[in-house]
Amino acid sequence: MASTLMPATSPSLQLHSKGKTKLGSCDSNAFLRGQNKNASLKLQPVSRVRMVAAVNVSRFEGISVAPPDPILGVSEAYKADTNEKKLNLGVGAYRTEELQPYVLNVVKKAENLMLERGENKEYLPIEGLAAFNKVTAELLFGADNPILKEQRVATVQSLSGTGSLRLAAALIERYFPGARVLISSPTWGNHKNIFNDARVPWSEYRYYDPKTVGLDFEGMIADIKAAPEGSFILLHGCAHNPTGIDPTPQQWEKIADVIQEKNHIPFFDVAYQGFASGSLDEDASSVRLFAARGMELLVAQSYSKNLGLYAERIGAINVVCLTADAAARVKSQLKRLARPMYSNPPVHGARIVANVVGSPDLFNEWKEEMEMMAGRIKTVRQKLYDSLTSKGNSGKDWSFILKQIGMFSYTGLNKAQSENMTNKWHVYMTKDGRISLAGLSSAKCEYLADAIIDSYYNVS
């Protein structure tokens, strides 16, 4: 709080004693009584100087401190910890076996191509880089998919997965007023924030069954059936975050049946294509199933994980429509919504994707690197399961860890147990019991198993 000292005047005395000067508002008689009798005093009327505090209150005084982000805040706490055994299993970012960040070789090669070509940094169109939009739609739906040949997909480059979801939420709020989005329980921590910020109403459908640490498929189907007709159903295309639990191909068919029956609109979040199973086609099979049925749908894409382009903020929103005319109109409105948000997207990551996916050699090399990354996560997943099984003494079935897929594992630990993992064992994770296996090395599996066993059995 700022304050300014202001002078104020009133009659007073200027006192001279042996050549010294003092200023103040004083009682002259009291002053004289306290002086040495030999002092030479000269009294002169002067102005009194008073200090008055003028207080300025900030216009932002009413703004409270926001709570730390439940995911990104984990990394901040991890950095502040000086314990040498600490593990950061919070943020979903791939690490090497030495737990270091990894830049893909194909990314380096794509960047070298950009330097060789001397490409400039001019603004992109609002919809993004044309070459990027083309290859990203082909990667998602398959290059030979009729919906692409018929120009029924509106693709707009956006700011990774979060920005793509936010742009889609703005489209829903403006052109489907009152429509509700159904979100899985649990889901990625930022989904609810995105729809809240866009003022789109949402509710949850059952997904996770704590008794089996598996999918509550019957509850999921019942809740989708009970939703108001025309709702948007948010689905994780593969490697469900945070649980790592995906429907089977047969269950995906049933989900599509119910969504069609209720005239709902499927809305996919695809953040791990190729990074979950190691196969780009397998990880896109759920989206392609719905598109093949002739359904209109939305798909948000991200290249943060599968190309390691976390900081480049590169992704896209795709809207599949029944006609090319509808797709053109939707794309025009997506551009209109993007313009006041961020004007146009960044070019660097878009060129990397266009170079990698558009070049047969780099594309094949990328697939090999994805298989390597997915394989490392599968290896630590198996080793963690083996360690838990050997250390557990109650016969608990830990096989759910092997049934899960992708970079995350939902351990089934509650909030108190998760806090014990951090406070006692220096294992940083989200409070819902989710751990990122991408941040785990084979050498640390036994230590993590010890922490989980202790937290599971000794903390209620």
Residues with catalytic annotation?
188, 269, 305
Are 185 and 207 spatial neighbours (Cβ–Cβ below 8 Å)? yes
- Give the DSSP letter of residue 101: B
Mention every residue, 6+ apart, whose C-beta is less than 8 A from residue 372: none
Tokens of 152: 């029924």
Distances (CA, A) of 429 to 88, 96, 432, 436: 7, 18, 8, 8
- Residue 417 and residue 452: Cα distance in Å, rounded? 8
DSSP-assigned states of every residue in 204-271:
EEE-EETTTTEE-HHHHHHHHHHSPTT-EEEEESSS-TTT-----HHHHHHHHHHHHHTT-EEEEEES
Phi, psi of 429 (to 5 degrees): -155, 170
Host H or E run for residue 353: helix 348-358
The three-state secondary structure class of 372 is: helix
The number of helices, as runs of H, and strands, as runs of E, in the chain is 17, 16
Give the closest residue to 405 by CA, choosing from 273, 269, 226, 264: 273
Distances (CA, A) of 127 to 132, 164, 328, 329: 10, 12, 12, 13
Tokens of 139: 């990667």
Tokens of 320: 């599949």
Strands (E), 40-110: 41-56, 87-88
Residue 103: alpha-carbon gap to chain centroid: 20
Burial degree of 41 (CB within 10 A; 0-12, 13-18, 19+): middle
Give the closest residue to 41 by CA, choosing from 21, 11, 12: 21
